[in-house]
Chain A
Amino acid sequence: MSSFAAPGQLLNPTLSPSIRPRRKSATATAAYTPIFSSTAIRCDLSSSSSSSSQNPEPLKSAPHKTLRSLSKSLALSTAAGLLLHFSPLPSLISHTVLGSGNGNGDLSGGGGGGGGGGGGDGSGGFWSRVFCPVAIAKDDESPSQEWDSHGLPANIVVQLNKLSGFKKYKVSDILFFDRRRWTTVGTEDSFFEMVSLRPGGIYTKAHLQKELETLATCGMFEKVDLEGKTNPDGTLALTISFTESTWQSADKFRCINVGLMPQSKPIEMDPDMTDKEKLEYFRSQEKDYRRRIDRARPCLLPLPVHREVLQMLRDQGKVSARLLQKIRDRVQKWYHDEGYACAQVVNFGNLNTKEVVCEVVEGDITQLVVQFQDKLGNVVEGNTQLPVVRREMPRQLRQGHVFNIEAGKQALRNINSLALFSNIEVNPRPDEKNEGGIIVEIKLKELEQKTAEVNTEWSIVPGRGGRPTLASIQPGGTVSFEHRNIKGLNRSILGSVTTSNFLNPQDDLAFKLEYVHPYLDGVYNPRNRTLRASCFNSRKLSPVFTGGPGVDEVPPIWVDRAGVKANITENFTRQSKFTYGLVMEEITTRDESSHISPNGQRVLPSGGISADGPPTTLSGTGIDRMAFVQANITRDNTKFVNGAIVGERNVFQVDQGLGLGSKFPFFNRHQLTLTRFLQLKQVEEGAGKPPPPVLVLHGHYGGCVGDLPSYDAFTLGGPYSVRGYNMGELGAARNIIELSTELRIPVRNTHVYLFAEHGNDLGSSKDVKGNPTEVYRRMGHGSSYGFGAKLGLVRAEYAVDHNSGTGALFFRFGERF
Chain B
Amino acid sequence: MASQLIREWSGIQQFPLATQTKLLELLAKLKHENVTTLTILVMGKGGVGKSSTVNSIIGERAVAVSAFQSEGLRPVMVSRSRAGFTLNIIDTPGLVEGGYVNDQALEIIKRFLLNKTIDILLYVDRLDAYRVDNLDRQVVKAITDSFGKGIWHRALVVLTHAQLSPPDCLNYEDFFSKRSEALLKVVRLGARIRRQDFQGAAIPVVLVENSGRCNKNENDEKILPNGTAWIPNLIETITNVISNGSKAIVVDKKLIEGPNPNNRGKILIPFILAFQYFFVVKRIQRAIKDDIAKEDKPLWELRDRGLANREF
Contact = CB atoms under 8 A, between A and B. Distances in A.
Interface stretch (B12-20, B22-30, B297-305): B297-305
Contacts of A633: 281, 284-285
Contacts of A304: 312
A300 B284 contact: no
A734 B261 CA distance: 9
Nearest to A403: B300
A300 B97 contact: no
B258 A666 contact: no
B269 A652 contact: no
Contacts of A769: 261-262
Nearest to A405: B300
B226 to A, nearest CB: 40
Nearest to B258: A766
Interface of B: 97-98, 100, 102-104, 258, 261-266, 268-269, 272-273, 276, 280-281, 284-285, 287-289, 291-292, 295, 298-301, 303-304, 308, 310-312
B285 A578 contact: yes
Nearest to A402: B304
B262 to A, nearest CB: 5
- 10 closest Cβ contacts across the A-B interface? A767-B261, A605-B98, A404-B300, A637-B291, A705-B265, A576-B288, A707-B262, A668-B269, A396-B304, A635-B288
B104 A604 contact: yes
Interface residues of A, number: 50
B273 A654 contact: yes
Interface in A599-630: 604-605, 610, 612, 618
B266 A666 contact: yes
14 contacts: A303-B311, A338-B300, A404-B300, A404-B304, A572-B288, A572-B292, A578-B285, A618-B262, A637-B291, A650-B284, A652-B284, A670-B272, A766-B258, A766-B261
B143 to A, nearest CB: 15
Contact of B291 (A340, A406, A576): A576
Interface in A283-338: 298, 300-304, 306, 338
A705 B268 contact: yes
B100 A605 contact: yes
Contacts of B287: 635, 650
Given A635-B284, A705-B266, A654 B276 contact: yes
A667 B276 CA distance: 14
Interface string A265-299: 00000000000000000000000000000000010
Contacts of A610: 104
Contacts of A340: 300
Interface string A745-775: 0000000000000000000001111000001
A672 interface: yes
Contacts of B300: 338-340, 396, 404, 406-407
Nearest to A410: B298
Given A406-B298, A572-B289, A767-B264, 11 more contacts: A298-B310, A301-B310, A302-B312, A306-B310, A394-B301, A578-B281, A652-B281, A666-B269, A706-B266, A767-B261, A769-B262
Nearest to B262: A707
A340 B276 CA distance: 47
Contacts of A183: none
B288 A768 contact: no
A401 interface: yes
A464 to B, nearest CB: 27
B303 A300 contact: yes
Contacts of A605: 97-98, 100, 102
Contacts of B104: 604, 610, 612
A210 interface: no
B292 A652 contact: no
Contacts of A302: 308, 310-312
A300 B303 CA distance: 7
A401 B304 contact: yes
A303 B288 contact: no
B291 A300 contact: no
Contacts of A300: 303, 308, 310
Contacts of A339: 300
A165 to B, nearest CB: 53
Residue among B263, B295, B310 facing the most chain A CB atoms (10 A cut-off): B310
A573 B292 contact: yes
A133 to B, nearest CB: 31
Contacts of B292: 572-573
B93 to A, nearest CB: 14
A705 B264 CA distance: 7
B262 A706 contact: yes
Contacts of A557: none
Nearest to A301: B310
Nearest to B145: A766
B144 to A, nearest CB: 13
Contact of B265 (A573, A670, A706): A706
A296 to B, nearest CB: 15
B107 to A, nearest CB: 8
B66 to A, nearest CB: 18
A656 interface: yes
Contact of B276 (A394, A578, A670, A707): A670
B269 A667 contact: yes
A175 interface: no
